[in-house]
Amino acid sequence: MQQFIRRIAQRPSRHDIDMLNGSILPKVLTFAWPLMLTGILQLLFNAADIIVVGNYAENGADALAAVSSTSALINLLVNLFMGLSIGASVAVARGWGSRDDRSVSRAVHTAIALAGIAGIAVGVAGFFLSGPLLVLMGNTDARVGPLATLYMKIYFGGMLFNMLYNFGAAVLRAVGDTRRPLMYLTVAGVANVLLNLLLVIRFGLGVEGVAIATVVSQGISCVLVLLCLRRSAGALHLDVRRLRIHREQMLDILRVGLPAGLQSSLFSISNVLIQSTVNSFGTTAMAGSGAAGSLEGFVYTSMNSIYQADLTFASQNYGAGKPDRVRRTMWVCLGTVAALGLALGLLFWAFGRQLLAVYINVSPEEEAAVIGWGLRRMAIIMPTYFLCGMMDSMVGQLRAVGCSVLPMISSLTGVCLLRVVWILAVVQPMGPEDPRAFDLLFLSYPMTWLVTFLVHMASWQTVGRRLLRRIEPAGVQ
Lowest mean pLDDT among 11-25, 183-197, 444-458: 11-25
Residue 15 has pLDDT above 60, yes or no: no
The pLDDT assigned to 136 comes to: 77
Rounded mean pLDDT, 411-420: 87
Q: Which residues contact 313 (CB under 8 A, 6 or more apart)?
A: 19, 24, 27, 28, 31, 325, 329, 333, 400
- For residues 139 and 70, the model is more confident at 70
Rounded average pLDDT over 402-430: 87
Residues 177, 154: Cα–Cα separation, whole Å: 31
Q: Given this model, what pLDDT does residue 474 score?
A: 37
Q: What is the average pLDDT across 225-229?
A: 95
Average pLDDT score over residue span 358-382: 84
Query: Alpha helix locations (H) across 232-246?
Result: none
Among the listed ranges 15-29, 61-75, 99-113, 372-386, which one has the minimum average pLDDT value? 61-75
The values of phi and psi at residue 353, to 5°, are -60, -45
Q: What is the pLDDT of residue 477?
A: 34
Q: Is the pLDDT of residue 122 over 70?
A: yes
pLDDT at 11 over 70: no
Does the pLDDT value for residue 32 go beyond 50? yes
Model confidence pLDDT, tens digit, residues 276-288: 888 888 888 888 8
213 has a pLDDT exceeding 60: yes
What distance in Å separates the CA atoms of residue 15 and residue 20, rounded to the nearest whole number? 15
Cβ 185 vs Cβ 39: under 8 Å? no
Q: Quick one: what percent of the chain has pLDDT higher than 70? A: 91
Q: What is the C-alpha to C-alpha distance for residues 211 and 199, in angstroms, rounded to an integer?
A: 10
What is the SS3 assignment for 464?
helix
pLDDT at residue 450 greater than cutoff 90: yes
pLDDT at position 196:
86
Question: How far is the C-alpha of 50 from the C-alpha of 64, rounded, in Å?
Answer: 6
Q: How confident is the model at residue 42 (pLDDT cuts 50, 70, 90)?
A: confident
**pLDDT at position 8:** 47
pLDDT at 325: 93
Asked whether the beta carbons of 449 and 388 are under 8 A apart, the reply is yes
Average pLDDT over residues 38-63: 72
3-state secondary structure of 22: coil
Choice between 427 and 268, residue whose per-residue pLDDT is larger: 427
Instruction: Convert the pLDDT of each residue in 126-138 to its tens digit.
Output: 899 888 888 876 6
Contact 200, 206 (CB under 8 A): yes
Q: Single out the residue of 96, 93, 117, 101 nearest to residue 243, CA to CA.
A: 117
Q: What is the mean pLDDT of residues 415-431?
A: 87
Q: Is the pLDDT of residue 61 over 90?
A: no
Q: Is the pLDDT of residue 378 over 90?
A: yes
DSSP code of residue 290 = H
In 3D, which of 36, 34, 325, 303 has the Cα closest to residue 176? 34
pLDDT, position 178: 86
Q: What is the DSSP string of 129-167?
A: HHHHHHHHTT---TTHHHHHHHHHHHHHHTHHHHHHHHH
**How many residues comprise the chain?**
477
- Mean pLDDT over residues 243-247, rounded? 93
Mean pLDDT across 331-337: 96
Inform me whether the pLDDT recorded for 239 exceeds 90.
yes
- As a whole number, the mean pLDDT across the chain is 85
* Cα atoms in the 13 Å half-sphere on the side-chain side of 411: 27
- Evaluate if residue 317 carries a pLDDT over 70: yes
Q: Which residue has the higher pLDDT, 465 or 449?
A: 449
78-106: average pLDDT: 88
* C-alpha to C-alpha distance for 337 and 343, rounded to whole angstroms: 10
What pLDDT is recorded for position 472? 60
φ/ψ region of 474 (left if φ > 0, alpha if ψ in -120 to 50, else beta) reads: beta
Which residue did the predictor score with more confidence, 135 or 325? 325
Q: Is 76 exposed, middle or buried (0-12, 13-18, 19+ CB in 10 A)?
A: buried
* Alpha-carbon span 83 to 179, nearest angstrom: 22
How confident is the model over 144-164, as a mean pLDDT? 89
Q: Report the pLDDT value the prediction gives residue 271, as an integer from 0 to 100.
A: 76
Confidence category of residue 46, pLDDT binned at 50, 70, 90: low
pLDDT at residue 52, as a whole number: 79
Nearest Cα neighbor of 116 from 244, 252, 256 is: 244
Distance CA 380, CA 115 (A): 37
Report the b/e string of 235-269 with b at 16+ CB within 10 A.
bbebeeeeeeebeebbebbbbbbbbbbbbbbbbbb
Residue 233, Cβ neighbours under 10 Å: how many? 9
Residue 167 is predicted with a pLDDT of: 95
Average pLDDT over residues 400-410: 88
Measure the CA–CA gap between 246 and 107, rounded to whole angstroms: 8
Question: Which residue in 15, 82, 8, 16 sits closest to 230, CA to CA?
Answer: 8
The b/e string for 84-121 (b: 16+ C-beta within 10 A; e otherwise) is bbbbbbbbbbbbbbeeeeebbbbbbbbbbbbbeebbee
CB 37 within 8 A of CB 337: no
Please give the Cα distance from 361 to 367 (Å, whole number).
Answer: 7
Say if residue 4's pLDDT is above 70: no
Cα–Cα separations (whole angstroms), residue 447 to 53, 344, 416, 422 = 34, 19, 12, 10
> What string of DSSP letters covers 309-354?
HHHHHHHHHHHTT-HHHHHHHHHHHHHHHHHHHHHHHHHHHHTHHH
How much is the pLDDT for 112? 96
- Taking residues 46-74, report their average pLDDT: 72
What is the number of other CB atoms lying within 10 angstroms of the CB of residue 204? 11
Q: How confident is the model at residue 9 (pLDDT cuts 50, 70, 90)?
A: very low
User: Which residues does 394 contact at the CB level (< 8 Å), separation at least 6?
Assistant: 330, 334, 407, 453, 456, 457, 459, 460
